[in-house]
Amino acid sequence: MNVKAVILAGGKGKRMKSDLPKVLSTICGDTLIRHVAENIRDAGIGEIAAVTGYRSEMVRENAGEDLTFYLQEEQLGTAHALNCARSFFENEDCAVLVLCGDAPLVSGETISDLVGFFEEQNADICVLSARLPDPAGYGRIIRDEEGNFERIVEKKDATAEQVLINEVNSGTIIFRSRRLTQALDEIMSKKPENAQGEYYLTDTIEITASRGGRVFAYSAKDPNVVLGANDRYELSLCEKAMRASINKRLMLDGVRIIDPECTYIDRYVKIGEGTCIYPGTVILGSTEIGKNNTVYSSRIEDSVIGEGNLIDTSVIESSRIGDENTVGPFAHLRKDTCLSSRTKVGSFSETKASFIGEGSKIPHLSYVGDAQVGQRVNFGCGSVTANYDGNKKHPSVIKDDAFIGCNVNLIAPITVGSSSYIAAGSSVSRDVPDGTLVIERSKRLQHKAKIIKK
Ligand code: UD1
Ligand code: CA
């Protein structure tokens, strides 16, 4: 049976105490709603709708172009929300998978398991449930003496006895479309009589069961599937759980993570076998790291890194790094830095929009910006490109085997020829031909000092 998915994302999320719609909160490099959509795609389901309400336009712009959107103007409950999307499924015999936009941990694998169980049982409704030591505010799964699933009771409507039940509704439910439309019609036909005065999607269970429908609760292997981010504390718990699963996947793929609790890697980051990551490292965005690198306590964002590099306590942003480079300790590679291979950018050096050729070294306290640097160039300690005149940025070209002495200012635009030497302390404002030694220091003035005795 064809499966179509609907993400419920109409609520504001009052408990977040933020103007941002709850589903646009970010964990592990993406918003909650985009995580949910990606999990659905991971399960091989391509037809996805989302119900939006609070700041609808903003949610739609973020959620992804391949989604179909339905508007819920007023937030009157989960059944009401799904009813707003009924034209998505009401005229066909399909399965409708409903997920909460604030529950990012229902993985593709869990969704596939749920769909598989639903089909095997030839079910009309199947709820993804979980057993929790603390069932908190979740809807309770009510079963009869034989263990058959009967209905869901929301915490706020539960009796003292029902509150103790620790099997709960994850909020992910799959329906046969015809049964769903029937049940929604019934729920929407009368005023809700429950503690929250809302149209509850969970009432579909009792309605469908009473009409002889086949209803099941499928208990997830991973109890984290229920984790929803209703406030910022729960958001941190969701992020922690997702982070643990990202790190586990990477470790099983051969990445060495010394302390996964203290290593922060976004969902879409790729890392090759044999790379070793020490604690305190943050790897963000679309970063791709190859094999056999060693990374100590660094932040690496939207960058592509080859193999066998050593990166120590450094910050790397939107940059590309080849193989066997040494970065740090305490280097800052800003946007559009490109290190070829076997280079070194060391202590307190900063680079920006620069290409650094093979074997070149910027070992200490330098700034290299808007520069094309050839091979085997050496930047002495404290040497800088003066690329900015207060108005415009200017380029520097430094050719192969040039030697830039300590504390040299290269006043751009400038070209330094190959195999040329610039003496320490020079401020060079004109091009340097190939194979030339340049000393450009101010003339020394010397006077006899007056010694004042106190
Ligand atoms: C819901 C379930 C509960 C389950 C829990 C799992 C119902 C009645 N209760 O409770 O059994 O244990 O999820 O997390 O379904 N939404 C809308 N429009 C609305 C109301 C909600 O789009 O009018 C969306 C929200 O944005 C959210 C999702 O539906 O993404 C769930 O709503 P929420 O209010 O968080 O439901 P819970 O009280 O958590
Ligand atoms: Ca919720």
- Rounded distance from Cα 248 to ligand 2 centre (Å): 26
Ligand 1 atom nearest to CA at 102? 30
Residue 121's pLDDT is what?
A: 98
Alpha helix ranges (H) inside 18-152: 32-42, 56-63, 78-83, 108-120
Which residue has its alpha carbon closest to ligand 1 atom 32?
Answer: 78
- Check whether residue 185 and residue 305 sit in a common domain: no
- Rounded distance from Cα 144 to ligand 1 centre (Å): 25
Residue in 78, 184, 230 to alter for ligand 1 test, most ligand atoms within 8 A of Cβ: 78
CA 68 distance to own-chain centroid: 23
Which residue has its alpha carbon closest to ligand 1 atom 36?
Answer: 78
Which residue has its alpha carbon closest to ligand 1 atom 34?
Answer: 11
Which pTM does this prediction carry? 0.94
Q: Identify the nearest ligand to the CA of 137 by its number.
A: 1
Q: Identify the nearest ligand to the CA of 227 by its number.
A: 1
- Check whether residue 344 and residue 408 sit in a common domain: yes
Which helix (H) or strand (E) covers residue 177, if one does?
Answer: helix 177-189
Long-range pairs for 72-78: beta carbons < 8 A, 24 or more residues apart: 72/10, 75/10, 75/11, 75/12, 76/198, 76/199, 77/192, 77/196, 77/198, 77/199, 77/200, 77/201, 78/8, 78/198, 78/199, 78/200, 78/201, 78/202
- Check whether residue 221 and residue 358 sit in a common domain: no
Q: Which residue range(s) make up the domain with 410?
A: 246-438
Which helix (H) or strand (E) covers residue 305, if one does?
Answer: strand 304-305
Residues with CB under 5 A from ligand 2 (ion): 228
From CA 186, how far away is CA 33, in angstroms rounded?
Answer: 29
- Check whether residue 83 and residue 202 sit in a common domain: yes
Residue 12's pLDDT is what?
A: 84
Sort residue 116 into left (φ over 0), alpha (ψ -120 to 50) or beta.
Answer: alpha
| Residue 236, C-beta contacts closer than 8 angstroms, at least 6 positions apart | none
In a domain, 454, yes or no: no
CA distance to 22, 397, 450, per residue, from 235 (Å): 10, 48, 70
CA distance to 176, 247, 411, 419, 438, per residue, from 416 (Å): 72, 46, 11, 9, 10
- Rounded distance from Cα 123 to ligand 1 centre (Å): 23
- Check whether residue 411 and residue 351 sit in a common domain: yes
- Check whether residue 422 and residue 386 sit in a common domain: yes
Residue 247's pLDDT is what?
A: 98
Pocket of ligand 1 (CB under 6 A): 8-11, 51, 53, 72, 75-78, 80-81, 100-103, 138-139, 152, 154, 168-171, 200-202, 228
Ligand 1 atom nearest to CA at 199? 8
Which residue has its alpha carbon closest to ligand 1 atom 39?
Answer: 138
Ligand 1 atom nearest to CA at 203? 8
Sort residue 147 into left (φ over 0), alpha (ψ -120 to 50) or beta.
Answer: left
From CA 276, how far away is CA 283, in angstroms rounded?
Answer: 13
- Check whether residue 212 and residue 256 sit in a common domain: no
Sort residue 310 into left (φ over 0), alpha (ψ -120 to 50) or beta.
Answer: beta
- Torsion angles phi and psi, residue 235, rounded to 5: -60, -40
Residues 422, 428, 429, 431, Cα dihedral to 10°: 0
Which residue has its alpha carbon closest to ligand 1 atom 28?
Answer: 100
In a domain, 378, yes or no: yes
- Check whether residue 264 and residue 386 sit in a common domain: yes
From CA 188, how far away is CA 358, in angstroms rounded?
Answer: 69
Pairing type for strands 149-153 and 264-265 reads: unpaired
| Residue 30, C-beta contacts closer than 8 angstroms, at least 6 positions apart | 38, 266, 267, 268
Q: Identify the nearest ligand to the CA of 32 by its number.
A: 1
- Check whether residue 251 and residue 192 sit in a common domain: no
Which residue has its alpha carbon closest to ligand 1 atom 13?
Answer: 171
In a domain, 310, yes or no: yes
- Rounded distance from Cα 13 to ligand 2 centre (Å): 8
In a domain, 183, yes or no: yes
Q: Final residue of a domain: which of 164, 193, 226?
A: 226
From CA 306, how far away is CA 74, in angstroms rounded?
Answer: 51
- Rounded distance from Cα 11 to ligand 2 centre (Å): 9
Task: Check which CATH number belongs to the domain holding 60 and give it.
Answer: 3.90.550.10
- Rounded distance from Cα 233 to ligand 2 centre (Å): 13
In a domain, 235, yes or no: no
In a domain, 94, yes or no: yes
DSSP track, 399-413: -TT-EE-TT-EEESS
**Cα torsion angle, 36, 89, 95, 157, sign:** positive
pLDDT in tens, the chain (454 residues): 999 999 999 988 889 999 999 999 999 999 999 999 999 999 999 999 999 999 999 999 999 999 999 999 999 999 999 999 999 999 999 999 999 999 999 999 999 999 999 999 999 999 999 999 999 999 999 999 999 999 999 999 999 999 999 999 999 999 999 999 999 999 999 999 999 999 999 999 999 999 999 999 999 988 998 899 999 999 999 999 999 999 999 999 999 999 999 999 999 999 999 999 999 999 999 999 999 999 999 999 999 999 999 999 999 999 999 999 999 999 999 999 999 999 999 999 999 999 999 999 999 999 999 999 999 999 999 999 999 999 999 999 999 999 999 999 999 999 999 999 999 999 999 999 999 999 999 889 999 998 888 8
Residues with catalytic annotation? 364
Task: Check which CATH number belongs to the domain holding 390 and give it.
Answer: 2.160.10.10
Q: Final residue of a domain: which of 174, 192, 226?
A: 226
From CA 80, how far away is CA 199, in angstroms rounded?
Answer: 6
Residue 233's pLDDT is what?
A: 96
Ligand 1 atom nearest to CA at 154? 11
Q: Final residue of a domain: which of 192, 226, 260?
A: 226
Q: ω into residue 260 within 30 of 0, thus cis?
A: no
Residue 188's pLDDT is what?
A: 98
In a domain, 239, yes or no: no
Q: Identify the nearest ligand to the CA of 13 by its number.
A: 1
- Check whether residue 114 and residue 204 sit in a common domain: yes
- In DSSP terms, 104 is beta-bridged to none
Ligand 1 atom nearest to CA at 74? 23
- Check whether residue 395 and residue 366 sit in a common domain: yes
- The model's pLDDT over 249-274, given as tens digits with 9 standing for 90+, comes to 999 999 999 999 999 999 999 999 99
- Check whether residue 35 and residue 173 sit in a common domain: yes
3-state secondary structure of 377: coil
In a domain, 174, yes or no: yes
- Rounded distance from Cα 230 to ligand 2 centre (Å): 6
How many structural domains are present in the chain?
2
